[in-house]
Amino acid sequence: GGPNDVFGIQMLGNTLLQWGTEEQKHHYLPRLLSGADVWCQGYSEPNAGSDLSNLGLKAQLDGDQWILNGQKIWTSAGHLADHIFTLARTDPDAPRHKGISFLLVDMRQPGIEVRPIKMISGESEFNEVFYTDATTPKHEVVGGVNNGWAVAMTLLGFERGEAAATLPIRFQAEVDRLVILAKERGVADDPIIRQRLAQCYAKVQIMRFNGMRVLTRFLKGHHPGPDGAISKLYWSEYHKEITELSIDILGAEAMIPSGRHPSSAFQTDDAGAPNSSWSWVGTFLNARAGTIYAGSSQVQRNIIGEMVLGLPKEPR
Which residues are catalytic, by number?
Answer: 159
Q: Could you tell me the smallest distance in angstroms from the CB atom of residue 164 to ligand FAD?
A: 19
**Binding-site member from 8, 13, 20, 49 for ligand FAD (CB under 6 A):** 49
Which 62-81 residues touch ligand FAD, going by CB under 6 A? 74-76
d(CA 269, CA 113): 31
Q: What is the DSSP letter of 93?
A: T
Q: Could you tell me the smallest distance in angstroms from the CB atom of residue 239 to ligand FAD?
A: 13
Burial per residue of 247-285, b for 16 or more beta-carbon CB atoms within 10 angstroms, e otherwise: bebbeeebeebeeebbeebbbbbbeebebbbbbbbbbbb
Q: 72: which strand partners? A: 129
d(CA 115, CA 85): 17
Amino acid at 270: D
Interface size with ligand FAD, residues (CB under 6 A): 20
Which 113-132 residues touch ligand FAD, going by CB under 6 A? 126
Q: 86: which strand partners? A: 42, 103
Q: Would you say 127 or 275 has its CB closer to ligand FAD?
A: 127
Q: Would you say 236 or 277 has its CB closer to ligand FAD?
A: 236
**Binding-site member from 44, 101, 210, 231 for ligand FAD (CB under 6 A):** 44
* Secondary structure percentages of the chain, helix, strand, coil, to 5: 50, 20, 35
**Using rule CB under 6 A, residue 234 touches ligand FAD:** no
Q: Would you say 158 or 196 has its CB closer to ligand FAD?
A: 158
Length, in residues, of the chain: 316
Residues 6+ positions from 128 with CB-CB distance below 8 Å: 71, 72, 73, 75, 114, 115, 117
Q: Could you tell me the smallest distance in angstroms from the CB atom of residue 108 to ligand FAD?
A: 18
3-state secondary structure 193-256: HHHHHHHHHHHHHHHHHHHHHHHHHHHCCCCCCCCHHHHHHHHHHHHHHHHHHHHHHHHHHHHC
Q: Is 129 helix (H, G, I), strand (E, B) or coil?
A: strand
Measured in degrees and rounded to the nearest 5, phi and psi for residue 90 equal -110, -10
Q: Would you say 41 or 231 has its CB closer to ligand FAD?
A: 41
**Using rule CB under 6 A, residue 43 touches ligand FAD:** yes
d(CA 15, CA 154): 6
Q: Would you say 179 or 292 has its CB closer to ligand FAD?
A: 292
Q: Could you tell me the smallest distance in angstroms from the CB atom of residue 117 to ligand FAD?
A: 10
Q: Could you tell me the smallest distance in angstroms from the CB atom of residue 290 to ligand FAD?
A: 8
Residues 6+ positions from 258 with CB-CB distance below 8 Å: 276, 277, 278
Q: Which stretch binds ligand FAD (CB under 6 A): 42-50, 61-69, 194-202, 211-219?
A: 42-50
Q: Would you say 86 or 277 has its CB closer to ligand FAD?
A: 86
Q: Would you say 130 or 293 has its CB closer to ligand FAD?
A: 293
Q: Could you tell me the smallest distance in angstroms from the CB atom of residue 52 to ligand FAD?
A: 7
**Using rule CB under 6 A, residue 158 touches ligand FAD:** no
Which 254-293 residues touch ligand FAD, going by CB under 6 A? 289, 292-293
Q: Could you tell me the smallest distance in angstroms from the CB atom of residue 298 to ligand FAD?
A: 3
**Using rule CB under 6 A, residue 298 touches ligand FAD:** yes
**Are 107 and 83 within 8 A, CB to CB?**
yes
Residue with nearest beta carbon to ligand FAD: 49
Binding interface with ligand FAD (CB under 6 A) = 40-44, 49-51, 74-76, 126, 289, 292-293, 295-296, 298-299, 302
